[in-house]
Structure 1
Amino acid sequence: MKEQDITKRRKLKNKIFHTLIFLCTLFGIFILSILLFSILSKGLKWLSMDFITNFPSRFPKKAGIYPALFGSLWLIILTALISFPVGIGTALYLEEYAKDNKFTEFIKLNIANLAGVPAIIYGMLGLAVFVRLLGFGRSILSGALTMSLLILPTIIISSQEALRSVPESLKQASYALGTTKWQTITGVILPYALPGILTGTILGLSRALGEAAPLIVVGALAYVSFIPKTPFDQFTVLPIQIFNWSSMPKKEFQNVAAAGIIVLLFILLGINSIAIILRNKYQIRMKD
């Protein structure tokens, strides 16, 4: 009887725990639905080609996101070009080349800790190093380097997990055929781990696209009336432009900010969709 009572109590606790988790999930979905409804109801009416192609203006009906959209594209492309090879190279070194010792464990521990550092700290670091010390100024390059530092821990950790998922039997089979370590990495390990690496990288880039605090510190402008043409030009991005509109005294700018949020959400959903498509594509290839 005692064992039956213990089993019943465990089942009851399990049901209560599952119910609490389910209610928490429903609460989060409910709040998200309210926010999305509010944004869509305010911003959909303001979405148009003029909104995409116009420059910012002090008149709500003439305001647009053209410079901010270009600035975001510049930033995300440069950030990807910097962070992708550095992140994968670091993960490969730690997993395939570095010896298991205290120094390597110290590096891995610090990378894991850096993933939890607030974004504003990276902004202060970027201001001190890239803007002032290296003299890049308040440019797109400074912003891209700062955002690369922000997402590198995420890319490195996700790439490490993807590399660890490669079966040891595949590596040993490759070595048995007489291949070198580098040939095994490029021909076996990287293709197998690529879905996980791409997913982590694109999710990290989507985080960089939505960040505003580090770029404010680095010096992204709230108002830009030109299109950036080189990495050394000044810039603004969508999150900062949206923040600027939301602080405007005119009520119409709240609707303009909502329209900007819809565009940003659309881009973020597109990036995440690309991550899912690439992951599924390469997983199917590996199965074949």
Structure 2
Amino acid sequence: MEDLSILSLVLLAGALLATGVVAGIVAGLLGVGGGIVIVPVLYYMFTALGLSEDVLMHVAVGTSLATILATGTSSARAHWKRGSVDMVLLKTWWWAIVLGVVAGATLAGNISGTELTAVFGVVALAVAANMPFRKEGAALAKSLPVAPLKELIGFLIGGISVMMGIGGGTLGVPTLTLFNYPIRKAVGTAAAIGLIIAVPGTLMSIYFGWGVEGRPPLSVGYINLIGFALIIPASTYTAPLGAKLAHSIDPAKLRLIFALFLGFTGLRMLYDVLV
């Protein structure tokens, strides 16, 4: 990486703080841990700074997972206070999610940054296409399936989410609503799932990135401490505001907001991969 001027560092710091504000609101509003905002922003920032393509996406994903530790805690707590977290489901699902995280993080640590970017873009577009076009109240079944399909679903949510550097909301919200969960209950539960994903995901990002060449300064494994330190305060402070908004916005509008975020992000990521 080339040396940064003082002005560049100031602009970068301001952009990261602004990212934290938006990520916190999105985390509370959609239960996504803010990763749907943080990953692409870090991706393009690191690209502009000349970071190697070999590690660029890995660092964006790892840093995002680390920030979810704080943002997700704040968001999950706010939703729990409002009674919108299904603790019964989490007690029976957490281990399958963790196994998925371990598998997904291991795969992510052994593939290229371009392939990680493609995973992010494809999954984001798939979920975005689903949300606004599903009819109000439409569901695949009245409840989640029994074992082992229920555990397989949790495994996939954990595995794909950790590869994208996001919390549980991107896949958790549409999955739970598909099985007849009210949107607010799905959002709150997904916020808690984000924590289950972020803890082992962060540790494995450190492990697989340890000693890798080309990482930005002040990085521990694939986690950049500068991005972590600047995003965390702003996102943690604004996550409760997002949770409050989630309980005052019409569910149909909430799904549309969710889809717009995912659709825009997915298209930009795939554009970079294909062009």
Normalising to structure 1: TM-score of the pair? 0.25
Indicate the structure whose relative CO is greater, using CA pairs within 8 Å and at least 6 residues apart.
Answer: 2
TM-score of the aligned structures, taking structure 2 as reference length: 0.26
Q: Which protein shows a greater Rg?
A: 1
